[in-house]
């Protein structure tokens, strides 16, 4: 494995990164996850500590220990056990692991964006079980409640990724990456039809 002398994204604290830098980082991560997806790999444990920064500050997706091969025409590749990190886990991953699809990684991308914007994960509790219950039942706190300066457009993009309903999340890497790039470059955040091909 390549050696990384820098920290992971988990070390990025609230206010340490500009919103422009945040969108640039997450856009790069989106394309990396999409690259894996096109090769049939579902990560299932996307979180800031699994995003390593190289010496040039570019993010790389690491720790594929929970990754699985995904065949949309078969459920045989899915595990029946709950694996992952509760604070960043998609609701369906926490309740019905056999039904996990690429939308779970879309949720993980949203959780990473949420933490970079607010300085904390979408859900925080004292125990893993209480976090899992929150993940399954509650919506995350609106990021602007935590940090008023977060732009509304980035809040909308983030919360769409974190939607409880998998089919209402961003299903296309191209669309999600495009929204992030449009915000960063000052272009209108126009809606685009989501692709059915997933991340």
CB count within 10 Å of CB 91 equals 20
Query: 134 is written with which tokens?
Result: 């929150």
Gap between the Cα atoms of 112 and 122, Å rounded? 9
Which residues are CB-contacts of 42 (< 8 A; sequence separation ≥ 6)?
Answer: 36, 67, 68, 69, 70, 100, 101, 102, 104, 105
45 has catalytic annotation: yes
Buried b (16+ CB within 10 A) or exposed e, 50-82: bbbbeeeeebbbeeeebbbebeeeeeeebeeee
Cα within 13 Å of Cα(103), Cβ side: 23
| Active-site residue (options: 7, 45, 153, 178) | 45
The catalytic residue positions are 45
């Amino acid at each position: 494995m390549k050696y990384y002398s820098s920290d992971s994204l988990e070390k990025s604290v609230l206010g340490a990164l500009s919103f422009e830098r945040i969108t640039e980082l997450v856009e790069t991560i989106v394309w990396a996850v999409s690259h894996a997806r096109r090769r049939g790999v579902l990560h299932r444990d996307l979180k800031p500590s699994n995003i390593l920064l190289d010496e040039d500050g570019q993010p790389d997706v690491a720790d594929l220990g929970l990754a699985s091969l995904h065949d949309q025409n078969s459920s045989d590749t899915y595990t029946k056990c709950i694996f992952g990190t509760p604070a960043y886990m998609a609701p369906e991953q926490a309740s019905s692991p056999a039904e996990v699809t690429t939308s779970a990684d879309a949720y993980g991308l949203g959780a990473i964006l949420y933490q970079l914007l607010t300085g904390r994960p979408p859900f925080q509790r004292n125990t893993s079980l209480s976090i899992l219950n929150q993940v399954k039942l509650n919506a995350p706190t609106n990021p602007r409640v935590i940090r008023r300066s977060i732009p509304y457009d980035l809040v909308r993009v983030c919360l769409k990724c974190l939607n409880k309903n998998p089919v209402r999340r961003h299903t296309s890497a191209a669309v999600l990456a495009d929204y992030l790039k449009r915000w960063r470059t000052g272009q209108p955040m126009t809606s685009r039809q989501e692709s059915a091909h997933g991340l």
